[in-house]
Structure 1
Amino acid sequence: MTSNPESTDGVVEMAWDPITRIVGSLGIYAKVDFNNNRVVDCYSTSSVFRGYSIFMKGKDPRDAHFITSRICGICGDNHATCSVYAQNMAYGVRPPHLAEWIINLGESAEYMFDHNIFQENLVGVDYCEKMVRETNPGVLDLAERTEAPHAGDHGYRTIADIMRSLNPLEGEFYREALQVSRSTREMFCLMEGRHVHPSTLYPGGVGTVATVQLFTDYLTRLMRYVEFMKRVVPMHDDLFDFFYEALPGYENVGRRRVLLNCWGSLNDPEHCDFTYRNMADWGRKMFVTPGVIVDGKLLTNDLVTINLGIRILLGSSYYEDWEGQDPFVTEDPLGNPVDMRHPWNQHTIPRPQKRDFDDKYSWVMSPRWFDGTENLALDTGGGPIARLWSTALSGLVDMGYVKSTGHSVLINLPRTALKPEVTFEWKIPERNGELLSNAIERNRARTYFQAYAAAAALHFVEKALAEVRAGRTKTWEPFKVPDEAISCGFTEAVRGVLSHHMVIKGGKIANYHPYPPTPWNASVRDIHGTPGPYEDAVQNTPIFEENPPAAFKGIDIMRAVRSFDPCLPCGVHMYLGNGKSLDRLHSPHAFASGEGG
């Protein structure tokens, strides 16, 4: 949706900049129509250039995971893992089963840690009592009078009690979640040495010394987390369901067309050999199933098809095109043609310039997925909603504690010290007969995926202990670096799809491009004028905040953006000043160049 050039007065330009820690500095620039309580235009910007794809060239490929881990200080282990997967393919090495179970345990702990601290200590603040009191006092008054349907499971009598528990620093649940984040980080460190840049992760396996005591230490912490999740899931269900009832139409906040991507994660070492020729098969055996979902339907769960469909478009980003450059790769290992706009063939040619919303305005490129007809602006939904949706539709996962049914995901959490066995079911979200990819459901899915990760980790612990008890304690296989190779790694970073694409020539890296979830979610208008997911989701957002323009906080806009989990936006600053009233919009791109409004 673009703004109407015939709009009348009441439209105000606003800027939220920076929303920090998003591979640079994320800014959201919007036009809000206060007469009709809706956002009429949005631009997502990133003001920092990173350049990893440039300085990776010429490096020893064995250093790739150590270098790319530093792309992010939050999910660096996801990058290291993905890089190791790409290296395994390039070197033709298959790690021992035990090593893969250890990596899976580390990644599961990372999901639990990161989703917990983001959901409870950052997203939760958007729905806490203090925030709701400031932005929607009428909603808080209703929350005080609304009994929580699952009070017996989580211990909070009313919805307002849940909101108070989320108040930063003071809230009971807020503080408890901080303690939980500590134990989940310890779980990760037990498997991979340190957080967030692993010290025991290598191509060919891991350097972790595997013992019964190691996995027992992990398991004791995991069981406490399992018990914690038995309260968290029903608590968030009560809170999110309440917003639908308290604010009719709230399902449209942050809503966009269902265009989801998941690259799969948590390999099954029984099937994964890291070869490209078998990638479609072992990809479907992942414990989170890859998939591209369009309008609620699964287009493909074939990783080869997924890989070949990736296109890197420019348009509104600060780069020169690389059309006309010689391709690094013309065919994949199966003989399929590789497009010039695929990451294997990408050249990064930065061209810094003044921000202009009519032209170039961000350092983020525009990844798209080509379905044979059009380049789709897929989003990860913050990670979990895409993972659960893809896994549910494929119906391929059945590991005892987790089962996908073709339309939902069943998550079984066994009996713990104080609570009985519980089974949760994540269902494909819909309301009034319409499928939903919106702020509330992205957040809800994050809670359910925390439980999913915990249940999967229980399976991985059992498998790892079986290996150790059988005397199969080897955790690494030797390898040689070839003179030439092309490879790719696919996994899920915490907040969504992650792929690393590598070309080796002369035993050195000739081309290397990592594509984490941020470029997909925060992408800008591409060469065809298609907005990125943040932009699209915010442009479709109605305003429910009760404050007048002079005291406007933009909470609905922030909930829409933060539902994508934009790399821990722990510092959100809004610049409004006195605002700037636009009596008449002369163009759908009425922002002055370089101005924030």
Structure 2
Amino acid sequence: MTSTQGRKGKSDQDLMEMSWDPITRIVGSLGIYTKIDWSAKKVVEAYSTSSIFRGYSIFMKGKDPRDAHFITSRICGICGDNHATCSVYAQNMAYGVRPPHLGEWIMNLGEAAEFMFDHNIFQENLVGVDYCEKMVRETNPGVLELAERTAASNAAEHGYRTIADIMRSLNPMEGEFYREALQISRMTREMFCLMEGRHVHPSTLYPGGVGTVATVQLFTDYLTRLMRYVEFMKRCVPMHDDLFDFIYEALPGYEEVGRRRTLLACWGCHMDPDHPGFNYREMTDWGRKMFVTPGVIVDGKLVTNDLVDINLGIRILLGSSYYEDWEDQEMFVERDPLGNPVDRRHPWNQHTIPRPSKRDFDDKYSWVMSPRWFDGNEHLALDTGGGPIARLWSTALSGLVDAGYVKATGHSVQIHLPKSATKPEKTFEWKIPQWSNALERNRARTYYQAYSAALALHFVERALAEVRAGHTKTWEPFEVPEDGIGCGFTEAVRGVLSHHMVIRDGKIANYHPYPPTPWNGSVRDNFGTPGPYEDAVQNTPIFEENTRENFKGIDIMRAVRSFDPCLPCGVHMYTGDGNVLEKVHSPHAFNGTT
């Protein structure tokens, strides 16, 4: 929904306020409120709001820790399995249990399938619509005319002669590639269910491993579907390269759309079973052995890839969100297992005290808190770029991954896809881009789909080797301690995901999950620093050709959707100064008398 709310500031003619609430083509509840300088064709101010309250940190208290992954999976109906996986990681640490190798390969295969599924359906069926022929015709007809005359450089690989042909293939419900992507999404869901039983709330995932019965047939069924996906990616990557390269050429300056300072976060994912995992004291080492390398990137440079540093640097600020501070509340964890001091604003020590109020952009205006990463000097508003750009950037810079079909070089990530049914083997290389902006976030999403497919090829080979060697155990028993702490680090589809748990007297005393949306969709913090959505949008220039009266805001929507936003699973109510209506039933109301 787009609405003009009025005009303030610079001039009644040149400055206007516009809101998009809710943002469509995602789970609802995200609102973007902007002030646009029409004469300069630029957004000068932006606010990101969420109208949902996540209460999981409250009602997790007192629960049996073994139920944590089943409950937190329901945080999201899109990436619930990522939450279940992260919760299992946190439990494994708290219980001191390490799953058998085969159990971990199965979890890796399930999560790889989830990345392939979700990125595909979002990129082709949701983001792709922003660049389809119908949308471009409505917002930039001059660009469409140029697209009709522009030959696609990789036509021989993807089959579309011009850029306009690519755009037509992305038209919703009608476009060829749009429909093909829907079919692919079904296969990737089947791949996930083969490994974890049910999508998106796994039925075979537990602390200590999985309940999946591992057979050669199971992995063969997965591999058959995977190779069809590999075939699809050999068209998908060059097609998107052609499309995004054309946008840069057709609209000089478009690199500024959705651009912000490069402040990226990746917590790493896909454990390597060959290296001991889950023990906090060894987290630095096993974190660096993940198949996606964790990292904090500031101004394009790697600051750290140490999960201990990453964990200790997390701070939860409130700023403009509807909560009370917890400065006078109990500290649950004063030192980590290595003896390092833990900050009061760390998730282990967080208390969630909701205080709903009327939305006020000069005060409190959202249910999303402001997670930040403290580097010793600044509280950095890190973003995930929707997930893939941060994962690839971090993995590339660390240069640690060299496994089967993927290799990190220090400046790029090489992805090798073997021969498939109708296409020869192909190697793609994602290179660190010049900017962290809307187009590069989208481009990275396509390359990461190929990266996930390549990793899955490696995982399935290793899993088959375990089965053929007779190592078919997938679960390790454990005991829940009376007191303990755990933290799980992985990547949800949209980026960083951590779960922090404190156990006392055998029950959950404190539990805080932090998915990517609070990082990306955070609001202005205590220092006045805007969150990533806000920061990216309020620097965005307007290239849309429509007049102010017919303005659709496509450049703003492209900036927001490049982060793959998602704000599900919660409700809140604000009653203000309203009256309470009481209805009293007569004791005779149900016997025919009044």
Shift of 1:258: 0.2
CA distance in 1 between partners of 2:150 and 2:56 (Å): 51
CA distance in 1 between partners of 2:65 and 2:345 (Å): 23
Q: Which of 35, 42, 61 is the matching residue for 1:38?
A: 42
CA distance in 2 between partners of 1:359 and 1:252 (Å): 29
Relative contact order, higher structure (CA 8 A, sep 6+): 1
Match for residue 207 of structure 2? Answer: 203
Match for residue 146 of structure 2? Answer: 142
Residue 541 of structure 1 aligns to which amino acid in structure 2? T
Give a deviation string over 1:282-321, Cα, whole Å, max 9, x none. Answer: 0000000000000000000000000000000011000000
SS of the residue corresponding to residue 444 of structure 1 reads: helix
Q: Which of 298, 313, 335 is the matching residue for 2:317?
A: 313
CA distance in 2 between partners of 1:272 and 1:29 (Å): 47
Q: Does structure 1 residue 219 correspond to structure 2 residue 223?
A: yes
Match for residue 75 of structure 1? Answer: 79
Q: Does structure 1 residue 348 correspond to structure 2 residue 347?
A: no
Give a deviation string over 1:230-269, Cα, whole Å, max 9, x none. Answer: 0000000000000000000000000000000000000001
Residue 425 of structure 2 aligns to which amino acid in structure 1? E
4+ long deviations beyond 4 Å: 3-8, 20-24
Give a deviation string over 1:403-428, Cα, whole Å, max 9, x none. Answer: 00000000000011100010000000
Shift of 1:567: 2.3
Match for residue 438 of structure 1? Answer: 437
CA distance in 2 between partners of 1:11 and 1:344 (Å): 44
Q: Does structure 1 residue 87 correspond to structure 2 residue 86?
A: no
Q: Which of 380, 386, 395 is the matching residue for 1:382?
A: 386
Give a deviation string over 1:414-471, Cα, whole Å, max 9, x none. Answer: 01110001000000002xxxxx000000000000000000000000000000000000
> Which residues in structure 2 correspond to 1:233-272 (within 5 Å)?
233-272=237-276
SS of the residue corresponding to residue 449 of structure 1 reads: helix
CA distance in 2 between partners of 1:20 and 1:146 (Å): 31
CA distance in 2 between partners of 1:203 and 1:326 (Å): 28
Are the structure 2 counterparts of residues 265 and 223 from structure 1 closer, same or farther at C-alpha, using a change threshold of 3 Å?
same
Is the 1:272–1:283 contact (alpha carbons within 8 Å) kept by the matching residues of 2?
Answer: no
Shift of 1:499: 0.1
Match for residue 331 of structure 1? Answer: 335
SS of the residue corresponding to residue 511 of structure 1 reads: strand
Q: Does structure 1 residue 518 correspond to structure 2 residue 517?
A: yes
Q: State the TM-score, normalized to the length of structure 2.
A: 0.93
Shift of 1:34: 1.2
SS of the residue corresponding to residue 312 of structure 1 reads: strand
CA distance in 1 between partners of 2:493 and 2:51 (Å): 23
CA distance in 2 between partners of 1:545 and 1:437 (Å): 21
Q: Which of 179, 191, 195 is the matching residue for 2:195?
A: 191
Give a deviation string over 1:52-105, Cα, whole Å, max 9, x none. Answer: 000000000000000000000000000000000000000000000000000000
Q: Does structure 1 residue 106 correspond to structure 2 residue 110?
A: yes
> Which residues in structure 2 correspond to 1:145-184 (within 5 Å)?
145-184=149-188
Q: Does structure 1 residue 466 correspond to structure 2 residue 465?
A: yes
Residue 219 of structure 1 aligns to which amino acid in structure 2? L
CA distance in 1 between partners of 2:328 and 2:159 (Å): 63
SS of the residue corresponding to residue 168 of structure 1 reads: coil
Shift of 1:41: 0.5
Are the structure 2 counterparts of residues 454 and 267 from structure 1 closer, same or farther at C-alpha, using a change threshold of 3 Å?
same
Match for residue 540 of structure 2? Answer: 541
Q: Which of 278, 281, 284 is the matching residue for 1:280?
A: 284
Shift of 1:23: 7.6
Is the 1:96–1:205 contact (alpha carbons within 8 Å) kept by the matching residues of 2?
Answer: yes
Match for residue 528 of structure 2? Answer: 529
> Which residues in structure 2 correspond to 1:431-580 (within 5 Å)?
436-567=435-566
CA distance in 2 between partners of 1:338 and 1:89 (Å): 17
Residue 101 of structure 2 aligns to which amino acid in structure 1? H
Match for residue 54 of structure 1? Answer: 58
Shift of 1:558: 0.2
Are the structure 2 counterparts of residues 552 and 4 from structure 1 closer, same or farther at C-alpha, using a change threshold of 3 Å?
closer
Q: Which of 430, 451, 460 is the matching residue for 1:426?
A: 430
SS of the residue corresponding to residue 13 of structure 1 reads: strand
Are the structure 2 counterparts of residues 451 and 568 from structure 1 closer, same or farther at C-alpha, using a change threshold of 3 Å?
farther
CA distance in 1 between partners of 2:27 and 2:516 (Å): 10
Give a deviation string over 1:107-140, Cα, whole Å, max 9, x none. Answer: 0000000000000000000000000000000000
Residue 488 of structure 2 aligns to which amino acid in structure 1? G
Residue 231 of structure 2 aligns to which amino acid in structure 1? E
SS of the residue corresponding to residue 277 of structure 1 reads: helix
What RMSD in Å do the two structures reach over aligned CA positions? 1.4
Is the 1:20–1:568 contact (alpha carbons within 8 Å) kept by the matching residues of 2?
Answer: no
Match for residue 358 of structure 1? Answer: 362
Match for residue 298 of structure 1? Answer: 302
Shift of 1:11: 1.0
Gaps of 5+ in 1: 431-435, 570-592
Is the 1:79–1:493 contact (alpha carbons within 8 Å) kept by the matching residues of 2?
Answer: yes
Shift of 1:557: 0.2
Give a deviation string over 1:204-232, Cα, whole Å, max 9, x none. Answer: 00000000000000000000000100000
Q: Which of 366, 371, 374 is the matching residue for 1:370?
A: 374
Give a deviation string over 1:460-492, Cα, whole Å, max 9, x none. Answer: 000000000000000000000000001100000
Shift of 1:273: 2.4
Shift of 1:8: 6.5
Identical residues among aligned pairs (%): 84
Is the 2:386–2:441 contact (alpha carbons within 8 Å) kept by the matching residues of 1?
Answer: yes
Give a deviation string over 1:168-191, Cα, whole Å, max 9, x none. Answer: 000000000000000000000000
Match for residue 573 of structure 2? Answer: none
Match for residue 13 of structure 1? Answer: 17
SS of the residue corresponding to residue 281 of structure 2 reads: coil
Q: How many residues align?
A: 563
Match for residue 126 of structure 2? Answer: 122
Is the 1:24–1:49 contact (alpha carbons within 8 Å) kept by the matching residues of 2?
Answer: no
Give a deviation string over 1:482-519, Cα, whole Å, max 9, x none. Answer: 00001100000000000000000000000000000000
CA distance in 1 between partners of 2:15 and 2:73 (Å): 43
SS of the residue corresponding to residue 278 of structure 1 reads: helix
CA distance in 2 between partners of 1:47 and 1:385 (Å): 27
CA distance in 2 between partners of 1:426 and 1:490 (Å): 24
CA distance in 2 between partners of 1:104 and 1:22 (Å): 26
CA distance in 1 between partners of 2:474 and 2:344 (Å): 38
Shift of 1:20: 5.5
Is the 1:258–1:295 contact (alpha carbons within 8 Å) kept by the matching residues of 2?
Answer: yes
CA distance in 1 between partners of 2:347 and 2:290 (Å): 23
Give a deviation string over 1:9-65, Cα, whole Å, max 9, x none. Answer: 311111110126878611000111111100011000001112100000000000000
CA distance in 1 between partners of 2:282 and 2:9 (Å): 52
CA distance in 1 between partners of 2:549 and 2:27 (Å): 32
CA distance in 2 between partners of 1:354 and 1:24 (Å): 19
CA distance in 2 between partners of 1:63 and 1:115 (Å): 28
SS of the residue corresponding to residue 18 of structure 1 reads: coil
Which structure is larger by alpha-carbon Rg, 1 or 2? Answer: 2
Shift of 1:326: 1.8
Residue 442 of structure 1 aligns to which amino acid in structure 2? R
Residue 376 of structure 2 aligns to which amino acid in structure 1? G
SS of the residue corresponding to residue 476 of structure 1 reads: coil
Gaps of 5+ in 2: 1-6, 569-575, 577-594
